[in-house]
Structure 1
Amino acid sequence: MPKILMSQHDSIRAVEWKDNHLVLLDQRKLPHNEQYVQLYSAEETADAIRNMVVRGAPAIGIAAAYGVVMAARKSYKQYPQDWRNRLEAEKDVLMNARPTAVNLMWALRRMCAALEGIQGDPEPVLLELAQRIHQDDIDDNYRMGELGSALIQPSHGVLTHCNTGSLATGGYGTALGVIRSAYSNGKIEHVYADETRPWWQGSRLTAWELVKDKIPAHLLCEGAAASLMRQGKVSWVIVGSDRIAANGDVANKIGTYSLAVNARYHGVRFMVVAPTSTIDMNTLTGNDIPIEERSQDEVLNVGNQRIAAMQAQAWNPAFDVTPAALVDALVTEKGVIERPNAAKMAALMAS
């Protein structure tokens, strides 16, 4: 396995390749139980992605890449003369696990492109590529952390939404990577994290990461964010993304759009942090991004406990789209775009 960077305020790795299989920290069990799931097939990996054992666009892509490795091993072992065709069905299982996170498709395309020219057992070649995708993500996160930190003037605090840290990536994080770097560099003193209903990624995951890595943090209800901004306690809202359209529109966890609107009104700057693998130049605008709608039970229940009236129904989109006009800075491993638009996005991707 290639190097896995770890530094100050960076102690968590949620996706690992161990011996001949994939190991995931089960994010459904956090923060009270740190349980790991052992996966040995593409089908198990797809189930883990679909059922939120692993979540966050970069982490989903990395897990899917390892899923292809295990699928190729199975196909080659069972059908050594026809393993390429047999692999297609398993690739489709992974492809359909979650529709919004473009990193899933990006990773699968890279893995499938590597199949060309392979003679004999495909596993060693594919495993090397999956591990490279994993390590590149960590390296890119460290790079984005420094680029984003450089934009922040010393301030009291920043606000983040959902989870964009080591749990959502190969390690260190996108938006939370910027926060880690900014805290290490003395740029911020405090982090405010939205609880992020209905899966509580902020309260269960982001708060857990911040506490574990000794970064001062407060949790807040989404409805409290505007009041926090009005009181001048944050200078930036810093979020990640699951897909970015060619014009700079950003799909991210539901609730991100309202944060962007509130930030603009209150004079708080809004930063999106994402690797270029999250940018989909084939999707022209945010209107073209498929938005996953999940079971209404996730809103009506908390765990196994019903919290809504028995006859109530719920609407449960997993993501919303923030227009590029509300984004002050888009931070990628290739550089920073201020006030993104189609021309700036095209120039970035061509660089």
Structure 2
Amino acid sequence: MRERLLAAEQVVGFVWRDGALHVLDQRHLPAEQVWHACHSVVAVATLLADGAVVGASASLICGAYALVLGARQRMDEGGDWDAGLDIDAQVLTDAGVSVVGIERVQQHMHRRLARARPGAQPLAVLEDEARGIHQRDREANLAMAQFGVELIRSFQGNLQNLLSIGCAGAMASGGFGTALAVIRGAQLEGLLERCYLGEGRPLLQGARLAAWELSEEGIAVALSADCALAHVMKTRGTTWAIVGAEQIAANGDVFGVIGTYQLAVAAMHHGVRLMVVAPSSVIDLQAENGEECFHDLGHAPLAYPDSERVAGVGRVEPQFDVTPADLVDFLVTEKGVIERPDAAKLAQLMSRERLH
């Protein structure tokens, strides 16, 4: 399946080419494809802060390439490029890149520099490591797709209706996505009849991004209002709800796009299995549980023009929510699969080497 996924790849969210980071501006999709060529940290950070890139993995990989751009600019100006990495990392975290994630990127870069052969050009080493971070994410996507498809096949080997929310796809990652990579794989393996997507209020990631991604690859997609997804489960014979995650706590609680929690509750009621697909890098063993540790639920205003709003009425506008671990049937990572995740199983998973 890996080779077929690679051969079928059509959608990418960013490309490192000719010493610049070229970013597809997701704000303009699906109406038009607008690409930006970024030659500086500031250019990348501005796009990230303004919402041109959605997804923790995609933002982090763009951040890795941005550190290369910053180092090159300082070298050209005769500045201290090494000390500049910390300054540029702060610029990126201010733009929304994960603090823990960018610290890991810096650690990887420093280790590569320390291991580099005598006389190696530091900029070439940094660029090679950024490419490596990108490639490792792609490989993780492929591994998760394989694991997820094996789960789908093992429970019911014929054509199935799958369901997702948000856009855990190629543009949110370094390659094929997490949840949408599994759906792509199911299509290639002849297991997918139709993918039902929620709109993804309030940012409409499902309607604008996930639907576009899948339709670009010829996958049968049907879009639904988020509030109708329970009805879809009841009437369309859905077998799996497949979602991504922004963070996962040590006990298995899932921090994901808003609507994941209510989707999980509806799935439990209708006997639909919930599969959370996410790289092991988002598992935070220092966060004991989601309810106490994932406080920042973000903020995304409801998509109504001012003329349609009732004056004086308060609004609840979280961009993310927390799904308790006991609603998750399977957690799929590049290291393997956990059924009914809990603290002991997650700790054991994180001690493994990557399986693929």
TM-score normalized by structure 2?
0.89
- CA drift of 1:56 comes to 1.0
Contact 1:300 1:313 in 2 (8 A): no
Hey, what does 1:37 align to over in structure 2? Answer: 36
Hey, what does 1:277 align to over in structure 2? Answer: 281
1:233-258 Cα offsets, whole Å, 9 max, x none, are 21110001111112111111111111
Alpha-carbon distance change, 265 to 346 in structure 1, aligned in 2, over 3 angstroms = same
1:182-201 Cα offsets, whole Å, 9 max, x none, are 11111121000000011110
Contact 2:256 2:321 in 1 (8 A): yes
Query: Of residues 228, 235, 242 in structure 2, which corresponds to 1:231?
Result: 235
Q: Report the Cα distance in structure 2 between the residues aligned to 1:33 and 1:176, rounded to whole angstroms.
A: 21
Hey, what does 1:317 align to over in structure 2? Answer: 318
SS of the aligned residue for 1:28 comes to: helix
- CA drift of 1:105 comes to 5.0
Hey, what does 2:73 align to over in structure 1? Answer: 74
Q: Report the Cα distance in structure 1 between the residues aligned to 2:335 and 2:87, rounded to whole angstroms.
A: 34
1:89-129 Cα offsets, whole Å, 9 max, x none, are 11111123226686455434433554557778532111101
Contact 1:260 1:327 in 2 (8 A): yes
Contact 2:161 2:236 in 1 (8 A): no
- Which is richer in helix? 2
1:20-69 Cα offsets, whole Å, 9 max, x none, are 11111100000010110111112221221221111112111111110111
SS of the aligned residue for 2:7 comes to: coil
Query: Of residues 167, 172, 179 in structure 1, which corresponds to 2:176?
Result: 172
Q: Report the Cα distance in structure 1 between the residues aligned to 2:331 and 2:100, rounded to whole angstroms.
A: 17
Q: What is the letter of the counterpart of residue 159 of structure 1?
A: L
Hey, what does 2:192 align to over in structure 1? Answer: 188
Contact 1:327 1:339 in 2 (8 A): yes
Contact 1:246 1:345 in 2 (8 A): yes
SS of the aligned residue for 2:215 comes to: helix
Hey, what does 1:251 align to over in structure 2? Answer: 255
Alpha-carbon distance change, 103 to 178 in structure 1, aligned in 2, over 3 angstroms = farther
Provide runs of 4+ in structure 1 moved above 6 Å: 117-120
Hey, what does 1:299 align to over in structure 2? Answer: 302
TM-score normalized by structure 1?
0.90
Q: In the TM superposition, what are the counterparts of 1:114-263 in structure 2 within 5 Å?
A: 114-116=112-114, 121-152=121-152, 153=156, 154-263=158-267
Q: In the TM superposition, what are the counterparts of 1:55-70 in structure 2 within 5 Å?
A: 55-70=54-69
Q: What is the letter of the counterpart of residue 287 of structure 2?
A: T
SS of the aligned residue for 1:176 comes to: helix
Q: Report the Cα distance in structure 1 between the residues aligned to 2:106 and 2:95, rounded to whole angstroms.
A: 12
Percent identity of paired positions between Structure 1 and Structure 2: 40
Query: Of residues 85, 88, 91 in structure 2, which corresponds to 1:87?
Result: 85
Aligned-residue RMSD, C-alpha? 2.2
Q: Report the Cα distance in structure 2 between the residues aligned to 1:233 and 1:109, rounded to whole angstroms.
A: 47
Hey, what does 1:289 align to over in structure 2? Answer: 294
Q: Report the Cα distance in structure 2 between the residues aligned to 1:101 and 1:249, rounded to whole angstroms.
A: 20
Q: Report the Cα distance in structure 2 between the residues aligned to 1:91 and 1:112, rounded to whole angstroms.
A: 13
Contact 2:179 2:244 in 1 (8 A): yes
Contact 1:141 1:172 in 2 (8 A): yes
